[in-house]
Chain A
């Protein structure tokens, strides 16, 4: 192992070292603001080598393959994760105007847990062996379990943490079972040899495949592995929910794409229709259940489920346009979700009714939310439209026209709740006319997400050429 090869791992190594340093800083100074700023810096620093030297290669030979592999695709996914992670940190910052929720999460340990979780995500993205994959999955999940239960005095938060942990543990147990079945059949856990071994189909391999993918599907909250989502989203403190809704989805989708394009490519005839089915059900069920919610966080949870279905459409297409479109959609989805959760934090609203007349209380916040909601609903010229357009087009090219049709129908249903929230904000009378003051960190998040939702809608090629190139590198 020469140094330049190890340099490929620089982002992950840097973040790992940063985690330790942050732990020290957090423990000794107990200064939230300092830890937060350093965490953000750590994310941005870790992204630097990806921007300057995004190399590709294999590392750590083991079992006929490698533990880790890097490619333009992983670089893109890591970059998106790190950039969005940096954007989530302001949500955890303390500010002059705080409500109870942010007081709970504004602690040094929140940032350290976030950094650890992101470390897990990066590991998951670059994994090239089932064991690396499993380690990344758990490293990503455990801090999230803890974070969900961060409001220890709150029964709902504890319940959310416990629920997430039990069901997550259940899912990773099944994943591990799948991995061991694959190992039993092929004698390897590494992606490259698995890909060759899986070319000859056998029932045990099919079972192994399905069980392995289940871990990713659970993290993605695809129907029918979605049931934890609304409960956990509702129970967890809002800033944590924002993180859970945005970041792990990128890592999990990157994993799904790498698995389906790597070891499981030969079994495409098995997973492609199955995933298409799950995508269709997720879109329809997510969109339908979202429209009856009165709790905003639950509403967004179902919106996540619907969006995951849309993104999966791109994965099902199994062509560069689809995977690139999925990456693009992920970025847009994560931005929109972060922005909307930031808006919820800013308003302190938990129920849909709390948004009534927001436009009169804070025209700016309402306008930013309007952009984000339009983007979520997929109204041109906002980014959400381009994202949906991209994956549906890819699905049609990939021969899944039916799925694209279901997708369009589901987005019509999904548009309902976005427009309904807009109606509440703009056409209803507020319960109280007091003007809202938005904390500065949230202003940053809101402004950045809304601006990007517009810019990526007007100039989608800024990102879509990069994601397309990243996806093309998979082939």
Chain B
């Protein structure tokens, strides 16, 4: 099983490497009878094949860990020690427990689906080979992140997925907007990572180790012995800083601005990275560090509030966006908010459960959106769609599955996990979670509205783009090929059934110690005893949301317009995403640019450049000066040696006297 784990983690990397090697083979010269697409096909075969194999390995590991089947015990393995210092060492390896196994299946399954889907979606892209290499490399980095035994490897994977995300958002690098979005994603994440790095250094300083097992062991000991060495103050700061890092990766309110822009990347990328896997890395990390967060209730409280605010904020913005992918992106943001507020009430299992189901249904929604975009010849504006259900019947059906799961309608997956989160919040000790519950339930209503807004706008009613170009597009709208529909169906099955099949995930016992919850944080255990009205409210509001969406966007579209005109201010706030980008522009970007310009002209050009260039010039001048000693004359060289010898010897002897 150890070898299987290693293989599963490294396979996507090997696939990417093999695919990258096709660049070294001059196909056209060596094999002139082959088609120019041959290297692309080879690359796709290697990457997709390896990720499919990895998915098979991941499922084997996951199922073996179930007590009912093979009853494999959690284990960790060490591949090699990278750095061995006297005080601490950095090793690479894998930790396989319920937490990482769950992430393994989520990542590899969605990645495999996205790989297969991309074969169809990217079929006419001239550089699709590069696309597949990036996708597989991303998968490798993500697997390294989730299976790390220590925070160094975790951070390596963390940055690795960041780099791959950057490369994939900017995949169509001839588009200026794509480049800008890629840079924005990278910079926003760097801001968050800076905080996280400080947190990691503090962690290292406090525990003298970055290995999970070491940290948790010392932490548990310090708590039982009430040691003063590890103070609450330190722990709070560490937990807070790491949470800021997680906020960046998981696009939480304040650091979410990169995620909607990241939709500039090809749609399969959005499904894999910006819905199912990378953005959930923050949630995963907090669950992995559950012993730390359980020791810092104040930070946990903040996590819950940030999550709840993100959930409601993103849901309101999702209501008015026109771009189909942006709506789903805000939805992702909102759902990630749910996961964080589950963590905030110590319901880590609920967060991980929702992470898993969300990966399936959100992946499906993105792939469905991709299918629509593909069928509509790269039209993304839902106001220019309509009546597509006849042209894309299978996509239509699958979008219904995904949206029902998103809206939390039983028996679809989202119902189980989202309800568990809301119930846990409601039942949190001392009623601390009730405000979160209210925000979350309101967001659930909005989720149903914007989720079905997409379906009714795009697939029902009549076609809305009356221009000639629009008619042309509509007439040529077509269902996607099987390579795209099959992976969508796989995810569709996940969106339909994963909630029921994996419902055991909602219990702490299922995690076999991978998650630690303080015994006083009883929200999850108490969730079963929720009063009936609180339990059914989200479901009823979800159904009401769908009905409202039907009313406004399928039957009486003009009413939606009227509503927008009546509530101008609300509409404007939502459409402009609460003006966060503008606010940041005003608060950070423009002052930073101004300060940068000032520093550039005064500080940089005069002081820094002066110093650096001065130093460089001094080194250069020293080099030039020293160079003149190199006369090329043997007797000069001999004399130098002898003179140095005599002087040196003289000094040594004089000192020893």
- A residues apposed to B, CB below 8 Å: 162-163, 166-167, 170-171, 174, 201, 203, 206-207, 210-211, 214, 218, 224-225, 227-228, 230-231, 270, 274, 285, 288-292, 364, 393, 397, 413, 416, 458-461
Residues in A neighbouring B649, C-beta threshold 8 A: 206-207, 210
Taking chain B's interface residues, is the majority helix, strand, or loop, or is none over half, making it mixed?
Answer: helix
Residues in B neighbouring A218, C-beta threshold 8 A: 641
Of all chain B residues, the one with the shortest Cβ separation from A228 is B637
Bound-complex Cα distance A201 to B656 (A): 9
Residues in B neighbouring A459, C-beta threshold 8 A: 80, 82
- In the complex, the answer to whether B652 meets A210 with C-beta atoms within 8 Å is yes
- In the complex, the answer to whether B85 meets A292 with C-beta atoms within 8 Å is no
Interface residue B126 (Cβ < 8 Å from any Cβ of A): no
Of all chain B residues, the one with the shortest Cβ separation from A231 is B632
* CB-CB nearest 4 A-B residue pairs: A292-B623, A224-B644, A227-B637, A288-B623
Within the complex, the shortest CB–CB distance from A325 to chain B, in Å, comes to 12
- In the complex, the answer to whether B648 meets A210 with C-beta atoms within 8 Å is yes
Residues in A neighbouring B644, C-beta threshold 8 A: 224-225
Interface residue B624 (Cβ < 8 Å from any Cβ of A): yes
Bound-complex Cα distance A461 to B90 (A): 12
- In the complex, the answer to whether A288 meets B656 with C-beta atoms within 8 Å is no
Bound-complex Cα distance A157 to B605 (A): 46
User: Which residues in chain B, 211-270, are within 8 Å of chain A measured between CB atoms?
Assistant: none
- In the complex, the answer to whether A207 meets B653 with C-beta atoms within 8 Å is yes
Within the complex, the shortest CB–CB distance from B539 to chain A, in Å, comes to 52
Q: A461 is contacted by which of B80, B632, B636 (Cβ under 8 Å)? A: B80
Within the complex, the shortest CB–CB distance from A229 to chain B, in Å, comes to 10
Within the complex, the shortest CB–CB distance from B603 to chain A, in Å, comes to 21
Q: Which of A166, A292, A459 has the most B CB atoms < 10 Å from its CB?
A: A292
Residues in A neighbouring B588, C-beta threshold 8 A: none
Interface residue B640 (Cβ < 8 Å from any Cβ of A): yes
Interface residue B596 (Cβ < 8 Å from any Cβ of A): no
Residues in A neighbouring B640, C-beta threshold 8 A: 224, 227
Bound-complex Cα distance A461 to B86 (A): 14
Interface residue B587 (Cβ < 8 Å from any Cβ of A): no
B627-641 vs A, Cβ < 8 Å mask (1 yes, 0 no):
101101010111011
Interface residue B645 (Cβ < 8 Å from any Cβ of A): yes
Interface residue B30 (Cβ < 8 Å from any Cβ of A): no
B81-94 vs A, Cβ < 8 Å mask (1 yes, 0 no):
11111100000000
- In the complex, the answer to whether B627 meets A292 with C-beta atoms within 8 Å is yes
Within the complex, the shortest CB–CB distance from B342 to chain A, in Å, comes to 37
Q: List 10 additional A-B contacts (Cβ < 8 Å) besides A163-B634, A274-B652, A416-B619.
A: A163-B637, A167-B637, A171-B641, A210-B645, A214-B645, A413-B619, A416-B616, A458-B82, A461-B80, A461-B81
- In the complex, the answer to whether A167 meets B624 with C-beta atoms within 8 Å is no
Q: How many A-B residue pairs have CB under 8 A?
A: 81
Within the complex, the shortest CB–CB distance from A431 to chain B, in Å, comes to 24
Residues in A neighbouring B586, C-beta threshold 8 A: none
Of all chain A residues, the one with the shortest Cβ separation from B618 is A288
Contacts A288-B619, A289-B627; is A364 near B638 (CB within 8 Å)?
Answer: no
Q: A167 is contacted by which of B24, B616, B638 (Cβ under 8 Å)? A: B638
Contacts A170-B641, A207-B653; is A230 near B630 (CB within 8 Å)?
Answer: yes
- In the complex, the answer to whether B656 meets A270 with C-beta atoms within 8 Å is yes
Within the complex, the shortest CB–CB distance from A304 to chain B, in Å, comes to 14
Bound-complex Cα distance A207 to B646 (A): 10
Residues in A neighbouring B81, C-beta threshold 8 A: 461
Of all chain B residues, the one with the shortest Cβ separation from A298 is B630
Of all chain A residues, the one with the shortest Cβ separation from B653 is A203
- In the complex, the answer to whether A167 meets B641 with C-beta atoms within 8 Å is yes
Of all chain A residues, the one with the shortest Cβ separation from B649 is A210
User: Which residues in chain B, 593-651, are within 8 Å of chain A measured between CB atoms?
Assistant: 616, 619-620, 622-624, 626-627, 629-630, 632, 634, 636-638, 640-641, 644-645, 648-649
- In the complex, the answer to whether B648 meets A288 with C-beta atoms within 8 Å is no
Taking chain A's interface residues, is the majority helix, strand, or loop, or is none over half, making it mixed?
Answer: helix
Residues in B neighbouring A167, C-beta threshold 8 A: 634, 637-638, 641
Contacts A174-B645, A459-B80; is A288 near B638 (CB within 8 Å)?
Answer: no
Residues in A neighbouring B645, C-beta threshold 8 A: 174, 210-211, 214
Within the complex, the shortest CB–CB distance from A252 to chain B, in Å, comes to 16
Bound-complex Cα distance A203 to B620 (A): 41
- In the complex, the answer to whether B653 meets A274 with C-beta atoms within 8 Å is no
Residues in A neighbouring B632, C-beta threshold 8 A: 231
Bound-complex Cα distance A227 to B624 (A): 15
Q: B653 is contacted by which of A171, A206, A211, A230 (Cβ under 8 Å)? A: A206
- In the complex, the answer to whether B648 meets A274 with C-beta atoms within 8 Å is yes
Bound-complex Cα distance A31 to B84 (A): 49
Q: Which of B81, B637, B640 has the most A CB atoms < 10 Å from its CB?
A: B637
B286-311 vs A, Cβ < 8 Å mask (1 yes, 0 no):
00000000000000000000000000
Bound-complex Cα distance A231 to B80 (A): 44
- In the complex, the answer to whether A203 meets B641 with C-beta atoms within 8 Å is no
Cross-chain pairs A/B with CB under 8 angstroms, 13 sampled: A170-B641, A206-B652, A207-B653, A210-B645, A210-B648, A224-B641, A224-B644, A228-B637, A285-B626, A289-B630, A292-B623, A416-B619, A461-B80
Bound-complex Cα distance A370 to B643 (A): 40
Q: A289 is contacted by which of B626, B641, B653, B656 (Cβ under 8 Å)? A: B626
Bound-complex Cα distance A53 to B629 (A): 49
Of all chain B residues, the one with the shortest Cβ separation from A381 is B82
- In the complex, the answer to whether B623 meets A289 with C-beta atoms within 8 Å is yes
Within the complex, the shortest CB–CB distance from A272 to chain B, in Å, comes to 11
Of all chain A residues, the one with the shortest Cβ separation from B629 is A227
Residues in A neighbouring B656, C-beta threshold 8 A: 201, 203, 206, 270
Residues in A neighbouring B86, C-beta threshold 8 A: 397
Contacts A166-B634, A230-B630, A364-B24; is A291 near B619 (CB within 8 Å)?
Answer: yes
Bound-complex Cα distance A224 to B624 (A): 17
Residues in A neighbouring B616, C-beta threshold 8 A: 416
Residues in A neighbouring B83, C-beta threshold 8 A: 460
Residues in A neighbouring B641, C-beta threshold 8 A: 167, 170-171, 214, 218, 224-225, 227
Of all chain B residues, the one with the shortest Cβ separation from A397 is B86
Of all chain A residues, the one with the shortest Cβ separation from B81 is A461
Q: Which of A218, A224, A231, A460 has the most B CB atoms < 10 Å from its CB?
A: A224
- In the complex, the answer to whether A291 meets B623 with C-beta atoms within 8 Å is yes
B64-87 vs A, Cβ < 8 Å mask (1 yes, 0 no):
000000000000000011111110
Bound-complex Cα distance A397 to B84 (A): 15
Bound-complex Cα distance A174 to B638 (A): 11
Of all chain A residues, the one with the shortest Cβ separation from B632 is A231
Within the complex, the shortest CB–CB distance from B534 to chain A, in Å, comes to 53
Within the complex, the shortest CB–CB distance from B137 to chain A, in Å, comes to 16
- In the complex, the answer to whether A166 meets B82 with C-beta atoms within 8 Å is no
Bound-complex Cα distance A413 to B630 (A): 20
- In the complex, the answer to whether A166 meets B619 with C-beta atoms within 8 Å is no
Bound-complex Cα distance A466 to B81 (A): 15
Q: Which of A174, A289, A364, A393 has the most B CB atoms < 10 Å from its CB?
A: A289
Of all chain B residues, the one with the shortest Cβ separation from A270 is B652
Residues in B neighbouring A162, C-beta threshold 8 A: 634
Bound-complex Cα distance A174 to B649 (A): 13
Q: Which of A201, A203, A288, A291 has the most B CB atoms < 10 Å from its CB?
A: A288
Residues in B neighbouring A227, C-beta threshold 8 A: 629-630, 636-637, 640-641
Bound-complex Cα distance A214 to B24 (A): 49
Residues in B neighbouring A230, C-beta threshold 8 A: 630
Of all chain A residues, the one with the shortest Cβ separation from B635 is A166
Q: A288 is contacted by which of B24, B80, B626, B636 (Cβ under 8 Å)? A: B626
Contacts A166-B638, A274-B648; is A292 near B624 (CB within 8 Å)?
Answer: yes
Within the complex, the shortest CB–CB distance from A200 to chain B, in Å, comes to 13
Bound-complex Cα distance A167 to B649 (A): 20
Bound-complex Cα distance A87 to B281 (A): 45
Bound-complex Cα distance A292 to B626 (A): 10
Bound-complex Cα distance A366 to B634 (A): 37
Within the complex, the shortest CB–CB distance from B657 to chain A, in Å, comes to 8
Residues in B neighbouring A201, C-beta threshold 8 A: 656
Of all chain A residues, the one with the shortest Cβ separation from B645 is A214
- In the complex, the answer to whether B626 meets A170 with C-beta atoms within 8 Å is no
Residues in B neighbouring A166, C-beta threshold 8 A: 634, 638
